[in-house]
Amino acid sequence: MTGPEFGALRSDDDQWDIVSSVGYTALLVAGWRALHAVGPQPLVRDEYARSFVTASADPYLTGLLASPATSADQTAFPRLYGVQTRFFDDFFRSAAEAGVQQAVIVAAGLDSRTYRLDWPAGTTVFEIDLPKVLEFKAQVLARHGAEPKAHRAEVAADLRTDWPTPLKAAGFDPRQPSAWSVEGLLMYLNGDAQNLLFARIDELSAPGSRVAVGALGTRLDHQQLAALEAAHPGVNLFGEVDFSALSYDDKTDPAQWLAARGWAVEPVRSTLELQAGYGMTPPDVDVKVDSVMHSQYITATKAGA
Ligand SMILES: C[S@@+](CC[C@H](N)C(=O)[O-])C[C@H]1O[C@@H](n2cnc3c(N)ncnc32)[C@H](O)[C@@H]1O
Contact by Cβ (8 Å): 183, 215: yes
Fold assignment, 73-244+251-302 = Rossmann fold (3.40.50)
**Average confidence score pLDDT of the chain:** 90
* 3-class DSSP assignment, residue 257: helix
Report the nearest-CA residue for atom 19 of ligand 1: 159
Atom of ligand 1 nearest to the CA of 158: 20
User: d(Cα 133, Cα 158) in Å, to the nearest integer?
Assistant: 11
Is a pLDDT exceeding 50 seen at residue 281?
A: yes
Counting every residue written for the chain, the total comes to 305
Atom of ligand 1 nearest to the CA of 160: 19
- Complete DSSP assignment for 88-109: HHHHHHHHHHTT--EEEEET-T
In this predicted model, what pLDDT tens digit does every residue of 117-162 receive, in sequence order? Answer: 999 999 999 999 999 999 999 999 999 999 999 999 999 999 989 9
Report the nearest-CA residue for atom 16 of ligand 1: 188
Report the pocket of ligand 1 as residue ranges, CB < 6 Å: 22-23, 25-26, 29, 107-111, 129-130, 133, 158-160, 183-185, 188
How many A from CA of 117 to the centre of ligand 1? 20
pLDDT at 233: 83
- Taking residues 237-261, report their average pLDDT: 80
Q: What percent of the chain has pLDDT over 70?
A: 90
User: d(Cα 57, Cα 50) in Å, to the nearest integer?
Assistant: 11
Report the nearest-CA residue for atom 9 of ligand 1: 111
How many A from CA of 110 to the centre of ligand 1? 9
Q: What is the DSSP letter of 235?
A: G
Q: How confident is the model at residue 217 (pLDDT cuts 50, 70, 90)?
A: confident
Atom of ligand 1 nearest to the CA of 81: 8
User: d(Cα 305, Cα 298) in Å, to the nearest integer?
Assistant: 20
**How many C-beta atoms surround the C-beta of residue 267 within 10 A?**
9
- Taking residues 229-256, report their average pLDDT: 78
User: d(Cα 154, Cα 134) in Å, to the nearest integer?
Assistant: 8
Mutate-to-test residue for ligand 1 from 188, 220, 247, 297, highest number of ligand atoms within 8 A of CB: 188
User: d(Cα 56, Cα 64) in Å, to the nearest integer?
Assistant: 14
Q: Between the ranges 17-26, 80-89, 284-293, where is the mean pLDDT highest?
A: 80-89
Angle, helices 49-56 vs 131-143, to 10°: value is 110
How many A from CA of 164 to the centre of ligand 1? 17
How many A from CA of 12 to the centre of ligand 1? 15
- Complete DSSP assignment for 138-201: HHHHHHTT---SSEEEEEE--TTS--HHHHHHTT--TTS-EEEEEES-GGGS-HHHHHHHHHHH
How many A from CA of 291 to the centre of ligand 1? 24
- What's this model's pTM, rounded to 2 decimal places? 0.93
Is a pLDDT exceeding 70 seen at residue 6?
A: no
pLDDT at 7: 47
